Structure 1
Amino acid sequence: MKPVLALTKGRLERQFIAFLQERGYDVQPLIDKGRKLQVETSEFFAVFAKGVDVATYVEHGIADLGIIGADILLENEPDVFDLLPLPFGKCRFAIAGEPLTHYSQRKQRIATKYPNITTKYFREKGKSIDIVKLEGSVELAPLLGLADDIVDIVETGNTLEENGLIVKEEMFDLSARCIANRNSLKLKKAMLYPLIESFKVEEAVI
């Protein structure tokens, strides 16, 4: 019997494979998977899904462990155990917009994919805002007059710069996280512990 590990497809998947390789794991089955969504390695079974779905699979016990971005934990608050930060997937939440935005007397309007994170952040600062929930490129919102500013994840800042936007306020840093199913941690502790221990890195972002 092996642990089941759910991985976020795409950038985090590639970074996690490199992370495993540095720790001496045989990652060739993960590299050679093609379009397969389930892969067995010598140490674990891996399943590949979108980040939000990774959290769901872990929450329901389909996967014992999961690798996701901290944004998913903060925005969706799945019922999982947040085990530890990982030293990749580093980025930050920020408020961004056009350089010369003039706010009117009405409430500031913020476009974002993360309404819960955004609302909580501004509430803690004593500010009331209007949220415009978007799923795609939020950078368009201030350019087209839909919102005053945006709240989004910023990694390099290149997309903002290319669209004439600037970071107005840094909110907080993020990294990838390793999460666990609560029951798995209790019932499969001996099986999961070596894998979890191998993921621990002192310099990971919290």
Structure 2
Amino acid sequence: MNKTLTIAMPKGRIFHEAADLLVRAGYRLPPELDESRKLIIDAEEEGFRFILAKPMDVATYVEHGVADLGIAGKDVLLEEERDVYELLDLKISGCYLAVAGLPGTKMNDVSPKVATKYPNIAAAYFREQGEQVEIIKLNGSIELAPLIGLSDRIVDIVSTGRTLKENGLVEYEQITGITSRLIVNPVSYRIKDEVISNLVRRLNQVIETENIEQG
């Protein structure tokens, strides 16, 4: 049986924090992992193969079995609702989803509009609030929507709040906290349970130790 673990990881902040977590868990990663432009990198010493992907694609790769494991933000998991198991909260890349808009403005009473990269999350949130809104799906520059009159509100990821402030927007409500999670393909979890369980144990040990030290 092939014991190599294929792990899909998003590029950017999550990738760097996840790689650092693996190193602290005692895994030896190849130096080129940090700087390479390759999309597939082997860490033969540890039996890992990394697929570097866009954040929204990680769960798709895991669901379809081309990756055994993935590291994905909780926002992606809530939005995509893929057939994967969530194994561990890695406690990295912390942020939250929030509703924001121009200061001192109210939602349009007749046809309120909300722009977002997360239509499913936004729709569910406003349903829970008893509000009927029109969801406008955008892929970038969400902050622009209320500035040009496209929407009354936006739903987006907030980390420091700096981007909202720089664009003259304010936060109205927090929806949910977001951290990165370790996810697994259900079939991989059955056939590679021993090596996956060992990885989870080592990562969890680092996370718990750091939580104790910070607490």
- TM-score normalised to structure 1 length: 0.93
Deviation of 1:34 after TM superposition, in Å, equals 1.4
Give the 3-state SS of the residue equivalent to 2:66 in structure 1.
coil
Give the aligned CA root-mean-square deviation in angstroms: 1.4
Match of 2:123 in 1: 119
Give distance in 2, aligned partners of 1:104 and 1:120: 19
Q: Which residue of 1 aligns with 2:41?
A: 39
Amino acid at match of 1:147: S
Aligned 8 A contact 1:17 1:30 in 2: no
% identical equivalent positions: 46
Once the two structures are superposed, the pairs formed by residues 154-169 of structure 1 within 5 Å of their partners are 154-169=158-173
- C-alpha deviation, 1:21, in angstroms: 2.0
Residue 95 in structure 1 maps to residue 99 in structure 2: yes
TM superposition shift of 1:52: 2.3
Match of 1:21 in 2: 23
Q: Amino acid of the residue matched to residue 198 of structure 2?
A: P
Structure 2 CA distance, aligned partners of 1:186 and 1:23?
23
Q: Provide, for residues 181-203 of structure 1, a one-character-per-residue CA deviation record: whole Å limited to 9, x for no partner.
A: 00111111112111121222345
- CA offsets 1:34-87 (integer angstroms, 9 cap, x no match): 111111222211111112222111111111110011111100111111112111
Deviations for 1:127-165, whole angstroms, at most 9, x for unmatched residues?
111111111111001011111110000001110000100
Q: Does the 8 Å CA contact 1:29/1:40 hold for their aligned counterparts?
A: no
- Match of residue 6 from structure 2: 4
Partner of 1:54: 58
Count of residues in correspondence between the two structures? 203
| Ranges in structure 1 where 5+ consecutive residues have no aligned partner | none
The 1-side partners of 2:61 and 2:107 are apart by 43
